[in-house]
A and B are shown apart, each in its own frame.
Chain A
Amino acid sequence: MYVAVKGGERAILNSHELIAETRRGDTSVPEVSTWQISEQLGLAVDRVMAEGSLYDRDLAALAIKQAQGDLVEAIFLLRAYRTTLPRLAVSLPVDTAEMLVRRRVSAAYKDIPGGQVLGPTYDYTHRLLDFALAAEEGVGDPEAPVGETPLEEGMPHVADILDYEGLIEPEVPAEDADEPFDLTREPMSFPADRDQRLQNLARGDEGFVLALGYSTQRGFGGTHPFAGEIRMGEVSIEIVPEELGFAIDIGDVVVSECHMINQFEGSAERPPQFTRGYGLSFGHNERKVMAMALVDRALRAREFGEEARYPAEDEEFVLYHADNVEAAGFVSHLKLPHYVDFQAELGLIRKLRREFEERQQKDAAE
């Protein structure tokens, strides 16, 4: 019988009870708190904030707990909450040159003004499972040594150093730079300008953006990138309240930023210059911003008169498929009953087979 689908309300309520029980797991194990998630699963929180487009560690941690660690589900929870929030003010653009840097590296130069700052990174950890973390007594109170000299305040971007020599394309604000495109309020539109593309990539699924960025490296749209600079740290957010008329600092957020320096372009009129790819994201999301910068550059093909041949260069393909809330929803909707349409297809295929057999019999008779 088809009772499973006809089960209706009682089935839904029971399912809710069952996920609550499953989420809690073995009750002899202490329950994880959102504080623990926020503090000890910080990179998961960062990803959820970035793709959820909402900077709130506590809510992201709650979403991760509620979603039982399913980050795509947690991102969805945060997005759905975000849409109910009032829009109180629009901040000024953040100045990442004034970032309180925790990590900053450039692959393009041996040394850079302000210095290379390795900071917290898994890059040079050997990927050996650390069984000490599984020890019953825990890891205690690990403490990293403090540097001998404090970091310089205000570190210029490597791209600006190149810009000073005219070696990289200048960054010219768009005419409508005061009012950037906002995907949370307007539907996607094409051709898409860079503001729309960057917002889409910043909210886009890390795995999707990573795979696209990787594809450009393997030759599906070569961009010949150098990691000009990757930095991560705190930037302050400023707003200008209408009644005050001047900017006030309303708090700090951690962001990751990547400037890629890409193959140069030149023509009879223009001397050759390196081109830019850019990535920015909430939290510590280095893999994401690097991939984002690769895809940003690939999507600028039209700007440089390059033929858009590969997936990462195709803005409709990239922008329409980057959002994991949309993608997960549409893939999962196949779980909904489709039996009315399936019935229509059953009717047709039976009819077509009947006609096929009739034709065969007729041919055999002749």
Chain B
Amino acid sequence: MSALEEVRWDAAYNFAYLDEQTKRMIRRALLKAIAVPGYQVPFGGREMPLAYGWGTGGIQVTASVIGPDDTLKVIDQGADDTTNAVSIRRFFSRVAGVDTTEATEEADIIQTRHRIPEAPLREGQVLVYQVPQPEPLRQLEPRETETRKMHGYAEYGLMHVRLYEDIARYGHIATTYSYPVMVNGRYLMSPSPIPKFDNPKMQDNPAIQLFGAGREKRIYAIPPYASVKSLDFDDHPFEVQTWDEACALCGAQNSYLDEVVLDDRGGKMFVCSDTHFCADRRAEGHRGELGGDPAALAFARTAEEEGADR
């Protein structure tokens, strides 16, 4: 094994930072999580050299899964170059010496906060979600003893009532992210704060989806090809967000768009939140309506130059 011949990571720490006992404990929790899709397995989460709420759960999961030959991609808000994504990627370069990439298809492990990449995932890939609040019922019932009971007896009426109240008040379900899903027909699960646009990607995904909540000390999982249904009602079926606009840079009409404010007089453009997806499309020659605009391109370039600096 090449990793044994040359130490490529910070030798002051064990490979991937965590000690082996901690990894074993997390690995056991991960296997049980896979066996009971959507169920939150409590684990002895460790303090990480990163603040709680900033990805400590995802980092512990990634550290327990990753090997020296894996290639890692880290995204936050769909972008490889947001500061927290850069920071976590730097952490794993340092403590595990692994190769990193921005290309979704080249990655063995993708750690993400708030998005699922637009490009379809494949078998064998592992998608690790950072989860701030693993309990989908927490906003409705603050007590863990109560919510654990609800999961135990699959009593999810409270959530249905909450969604129906939205319909009564607004005419729609007014949840746009962290939209609750039912996994394998049994557990109500928080998909983490991804926009509901991404929810359908969880269903029957060929990749392994792992969720880590460090502060709340919970791990859960969705195995490949599993049933993941967004809650809805017969007369109010689940719908994802759509935009009237296309991506101003690459012209994509089927990706999640971020609104970029251009001035304080209502000027704005919409661009893909998945920066790699957008760059790939532009490399293939796709252009949006501002695709030739110097200011818009400068915006896209900032991201690419930062990538090249590494």
Q: Which residues of A contact B (CB under 8 A)?
A: 1-3, 5-12, 76, 79-80, 82-84, 86, 184-191, 316, 320, 325-326, 328-333, 336-341, 343-348, 351-352, 355
Determine how close the nearest CB of chain A comes to the CB of B195; give it in whole angstroms.
4
How distant is the Cα of A352 from the Cα of B174 in the complex, in angstroms? 9
**Is B66 interfacial (CB-CB < 8 Å)?**
no
Q: Which B residues are in CB contact (< 8 Å) with A82?
A: 47
B19:A84 contact, CB within 8 angstroms: yes
Query: A325 vs B79: C-alpha distance in the bound complex, in angstroms?
Result: 27
Of all chain B residues, which has the CB nearest A84? Answer: B13
Residues of chain A with a CB closer than 8 A to B4's CB? none
Minimum distance in angstroms from B252 CB to a CB of chain A: 15
**Pairwise interchain contact A186-B241, C-beta atoms closer than 8 A:** no
Nearest-neighbor residue (CB-CB) of B177 within chain A = A341
26 A–B contact pairs at CB < 8 A?
A1-B298, A1-B302, A2-B299, A3-B302, A5-B82, A11-B83, A80-B47, A185-B44, A187-B44, A316-B143, A329-B56, A336-B53, A336-B113, A338-B77, A340-B115, A341-B195, A343-B258, A343-B273, A344-B195, A344-B241, A347-B243, A348-B174, A348-B176, A352-B170, A352-B172, A355-B170
A325 and B84 contacting across the interface, CB-CB below 8 Å: no
Complex alpha-carbon distance, A365 and B14, angstroms: 72
Interface residues of B in 238-253 (CB under 8 A from A): 241, 243
Q: Does B48 contact A (CB under 8 A)?
A: yes
Chain B: minimal CB distance from A82 (Å): 7
**Contact A8–B215 (Cβ < 8 Å):** no
| Other contacts beyond A6-B302, A8-B307: 9, CB < 8 A | A1-B260, A8-B82, A8-B303, A9-B90, A9-B309, A186-B44, A332-B51, A340-B77, A345-B176
- Report the separation of the CA atoms of residues A329 and B51 in the bound assembly, to the nearest whole angstrom: 5
Interface residues of B in 75-127 (CB under 8 A from A): 76-79, 81-84, 86-87, 90, 113-115
Q: Which of A79, A187, A336 contacts B47 (CB 8 A)?
A: A79
Tally of contacts, chain A with chain B, CB under 8 A: 160
Task: Give min CB distance, B57 to chain A, whole Å.
Answer: 11
Instruction: Indicate if the CB atoms of A330 and B83 lie closer than 8 Å.
Output: no
Q: Please list the residues of chain B having a beta carbon within 8 angstroms of any beta carbon in chain A.
A: 13, 17, 19, 42-49, 51-54, 56, 76-79, 81-84, 86-87, 90, 113-115, 132, 142-145, 170-172, 174, 176-178, 193-197, 215, 217-218, 241, 243, 256-261, 273, 295, 298-299, 302-303, 306-307, 309-310
CB-based nearest B residue for A351: B172
Query: CA–CA, A62 to B4, complex, Å?
Result: 34
Give the docked Cα–Cα distance between A143 and B250 (Å).
75
Question: Cα distance A339–B52 when bound, in Å?
Answer: 20
A200 → B minimal CB distance (Å): 13
Residues of B contacting A339 in the complex (Cβ-Cβ under 8 angstroms)? 77, 258
Find the residue from B79, B83, B243 having the highest chain A CB count within 10 A: B83
Residues from chain A with Cβ under 8 Å of B215 in the complex: 326, 329-330
CB distance from B100 to the nearest CB of A (A): 12
> Known contacts A80-B47, A340-B273: does B259 contact A346 (CB below 8 Å)?
yes
Contact of B54 among A6, A79, A333, A347 (CB under 8 A): A333
- The answer to whether B83 and A12 touch across the interface, beta carbons within 8 angstroms, is yes
Q: How far is it, in angstroms, between the C-alpha of A316 and the C-alpha of B135 when the chains are bound?
A: 15
Residues of B within 8 A of A186 (CB): 44
Query: How far is it, in angstroms, between the C-alpha of A7 and the C-alpha of B79 when the chains are bound?
Result: 12
On chain B, the residues within 8 Å of A3 by CB distance are 299, 302
Could you say which residues of chain B place their CB within 8 Å of the CB of A340? 77-78, 114-115, 177, 194-195, 256, 258, 273
Chain A residues positioned under 8 Å from B78 (CB to CB): 340
Q: State whether A6 and B81 are in contact (beta carbons under 8 Å apart), knowing that A12-B87, A330-B132, A344-B241 are contacts in the complex.
A: yes
In the bound complex, residues from chain B placing their C-beta under 8 Å from that of A351 are 172
In the complex, A333 Cα to B115 Cα: how many Å?
17
- Contact A1:B174 (CB < 8 A) given known A325-B47, A340-B77, A341-B193: no
Q: What is the distance, in angstroms, from B137's C-beta to the closest C-beta of chain A?
A: 14
Task: A329 to B130: give the CA distance in the assembly, Å.
Answer: 14
Q: Given A5-B83, A8-B306, A352-B170, does the pair A329, B90 have CB atoms closer than 8 Å? A: no
Neighbouring B residues of A326 by C-beta, 8 Å:
52, 215
Contacts of A346 in B (CB 8 A): 259
CA distance A80 to B176 in the complex (A): 35
Residue of A nearest to B274 (CB): A340
Q: Which residues on B sit within 8 Å (CB–CB) of A6? A: 79, 81-82, 299, 302-303, 306
A338 touches B47 (CB 8 A): no
* Cβ-defined contact, A316 with B51, below 8 A: no
Q: How far is A338 from B193 in the complex, measured between Cα atoms in Å?
A: 9
Q: In the assembled complex, which residues on chain B have CB atoms less than 8 Å from the CB atom of A12?
A: 83, 86-87, 90
- Of the candidates A9, A11, A344, which one forms a contact with B197 in the assembled complex, judged by CB atoms under 8 Å apart? A344
Among candidates B52, B176, B193, residue contacting A347 with C-beta atoms closer than 8 Å: B176
Write the chain B residue with the least CB distance to A359.
B171
Interface centre among B52, B193, B215 (most CB of A within 10 A): B52
* Residue from A86, A316, A337 having most chain B Cβ neighbours under 10 A: A337
Using Cβ atoms and an 8 Å threshold, which residues of chain B touch A83? Answer: 46-48
User: Are A1 and B47 in contact (CB-based, < 8 A)?
Assistant: no
